Structure 1
Amino acid sequence: MPPFSPEHRHFSTAFAHSLVGMALVGLRGHWLDVNPALCHILGYTRAQLLGGTFQDLTHPEDLATDLGLMARTLAGEIESYHLEKRYRHADGRLVWAMLTVTLARDGDGRPECFVSQVIDLSAQKAAQEERDSFFYQSSSMLAIADTEGRFLQLNPAWTEVLGWTTQELLARPYIDWVHPDDVARTLAAGETLRAGGVIAGFRNRYRHADGGWRWLEWGSHTVRDGRLYCTVRDVTRQVEDEEALRSQEEKIRLLIDGAHDAFIGMSEDGVITEWNKQAELTFGWAASEAIGRPMDELIAPPRLRQLHLDGMRAFLARSTAPGYSKRTEVPALRRDGREILVEFAVGMVPHRGRRYFYAFLRDVSEQRRYAERMHYQATHDFLTGLPNRYEFMGQLARAVDKAARHAHALALLFIDLDGFKAVNDQCGHEAGDAVLTEFGARLGQAVRRSDLVARLAGDEFVVMLEESPNMDREAREVAQRILAAAAQPYPLPETCPAIGASIGIALYGAGDSADALLSRADTAMYAAKRAGKNRLSIATESGDVQSAVDGQHLSGDPGAGI
């Protein structure tokens, strides 16, 4: 039975109690069932939703895309899809959401309904709008550029300072606006950014629409998507001022650089000298409490403080050139004792004969947890906790490639439970779930620690074995242990049918693809079923299937009868 069947009792329990909005949607878009989380997201009662369709609540600009993906899923072109879209809330506002849709099929493989998961993105979108509002309303010149030499986004301050329209500035590479005497330095700064460095206090001249030149001062860094984030000031008047003012301005530039991150300034011996508002929010310490204290004692977890001090000493020894910087991810300690993961970039500039350190820190804890959670859910079966088909096929493809390149042995066991459908039909899906869960656990105990176990779908499982000196014998022995494990009693009522397993084995042969290997193992498994079930059979490289061995001969030589 398909793992996401709406009739699945385990699914029904998860459906009702999930914190994620979930719905069963008819093939024409009618709500068949909705969980409380979805009602909360959209602001409608269950009865209100069940009286309509998802089309009724979808923003018109998003509807065509959603319907197109739904049609492709029904046509079998894709198995599922993800879409950021807008729903109309009961109070009239728009709700941004991440929609994930999977097609559920009945026991005969016919489309039955769609299983939809809806994650509310409204808070994230609101935060993005706030950031955009700050970007466009800031009196500072703010820019986002790519590493190929073009601006991607500019705020209105650029037009106020340089006289060019935004369209004119975006239409040409930014080096075209730079004074000829500053081109070489500007290109060198770009190389630093492309290498992952941070530029602070860099100055060059840009052409004004009136034919003159304006001195601009840049604070830029590269984020992981390859874009450059720049805070720019018109410092024409300051450049013309006395040299005595410039030293103070260098420090000011550092303080405004990367204002969207927590910013910490430090003396050469690691004592905090600057602590911005974002640092207060990130770590819980007010600036008045943080300034003057050693950075390692304030935010480094106790177990990492010596490592931090050693790292600072090594950084001091290497960072002799102005602008030297280093970026990494490290655990950090908040005032309330909670550890967070921060993206941490530290750099150095000389200031009045001493070295001045600056650090940009961004809390990436939730981002990391979310990514790990989403990856696990995407690659593992929700019932057994085993890798799913998507994850298994990826690992199988890599193993086949490795076997081809290094002539390593590889075997695949395709397992189908005998009697499982009867258990489902006679004892209910809850009993079937118990069998799948128990058998998944037994599989893990029957194989080697190095073997990969996965659930493909329904009652189909696979085991991949690698790097054995006698893979033919090893595969049979593992298969026989699995047959024995499958035949053991399950925590079911006595009236439930007995459970066993049929196993097909395919050994990797030169030229095999992952799909070909899986197909041969599948063929061998069906041969074992036709031979009487509760047995194993082996598919040769040519596709022939050798005679099966049943589970009653497990105490003898594993090669007997094959």
Structure 2
Amino acid sequence: MPPAPRPSYDTASSAPFRLQDLLTRDRLYQAAFERAGVGIAIVSLDGTWVRMNPALCAIFGRSAEELSCLTFQDITHPDDLATDMALLAQLMDGQFEHYTLEKRYIRPDGSIAWGHLTTTLVRDQHGQPENIVAIVEDITARRAQEEHERRLSQANQTLSDLYDNSPCGYYSLDAAGQFVQINEMSLRLFGATREELIGQRGPRDFFTEEGRQRFSDAYPLFMQQGCFGPEEFDLIAHDGQRRRISVSATALHGDDGSFLRSRTVIFDVTELHRTRMALQAVNRQQHLMLDNEMVAMVKLKNRRITWANKALEQMLGYAPGELEGKTTRQMYPRDDTYDRLGTEAYEALAAGRTYRTQIQLISRSGQRIWVDMSGAPLDTATGESLWMMLDISAMKKYQAEVETLAFHDALTGLPNRMLLMDRLGLALASARRSGEHIAVCFGDLNGFKQVNDVHGHNAGDFLLREVGKRLLGCVREHDTVARLGGDEFIIVLTQLATPDEAHEVLGRVTQAIAEPFVLPDGSSATVGISFGLAHGNEQSDAATLIEQADAQMYAQKHHRRPEPSGL
């Protein structure tokens, strides 16, 4: 196999360099080529693979010997070949310096590997095309994830499906740090069953000794302050497998400030951590081959930019070289954000440690961008440091959507049972302190089945959404309207001066629901609603109140008059 291309040096301009400097650069170049976390290859003009690194072979599922007997055309998916060849022709004609393309490659077993391809043409000293440099990032998992999310959206799965099949782990901890709720992804990461964890163990039991100490120190502060992370821990699963996870959490507190439980999200960042550590080891020596378009990187000296790669310039919308010499203040939306990161980060860097956080930056056009940022010291004496940034705006948006869906009904947008129980528990605690009355109203629609049978399920879904809107229009801001599923709704009325106020509210609700609904096809439908009412007292708990209201509703529904009724 021919050797990897080596950088050339002009004799006159390289005179100040010592031979040892050249040898060191060459070794670093070779090491970075062989150990890079992305696939890199030299390809001849006819498409033959000439030189490739191990990462590329792993992406394609072929050995270097197998690839050397093939062209890139041989393993490109037929549906993507024409686009790739057309772009290559334009590149050869000098229409641009490089191009990027997301395309499919065919592995020996017939499976598809998706790659983010960056192709650059290398010309000789006479300007003639000499060979092609291809950089391939394996995005198979990302494309698979995107397809998975698309199917989830189309299938309109229930809340439990979304929660359990989330690409990240979710769990809740009590004040003792033990699991009270956990989804399937977290169970897989911890390598245990739900029965083995709930009320029995906590995440601390799976951390290393260093992680257990950090957890013990941080958890009491988290219960008071209400926010934690993102921080990374080494996790040793039940089967002994070691992983690296990123942990972020917020706390749920009662009206009296008491801690109720955590809401924790975890990500498996094992591969990202390995890649980051490998890159940092190389970056501390030299920044060879780092001017790429995938991972944003910047070199700082006392918070002033001395070098930035293309990825950072493109991510923030700056022209090549425009950032050099400027301070990093312009990258932050506010002064306090800039000052806080400076205090936290440079204390760690001065001690020789790395620093990592998730933070919002601002682009040249004013757009805010979420990034996962990590920094490492290069020379503490001179204040030099190296920073890597990944654009995680899409991940943050998805995380916010999952948090919303986890506590709301997917059809109506009303609170679901999980959020209802939280709010009802808080309302009961508040009522005990204030002496005010609270009422739980369990409602079930009358005639809804006929709407489904006559007009179809789409019309039925439309009617349920409209019912939710009318219910919200009949209550106050501090009351809660929730949907349990089907045509069952619950109204929690709080801050009542007398129990009779609940009857007045339900009278308005009954009248509002009895008004005809105009369906999307222009036809109308009429339904009624039966309610069961339960009043809270000092001994009441949320589950009992709902059961009592349900029983009252059942009795009301089976003794109602033929026309739609309320109480």
Shorter-chain TM-score range: 0.3 to 0.5
TM-score when scaled to structure 1?
Answer: 0.46
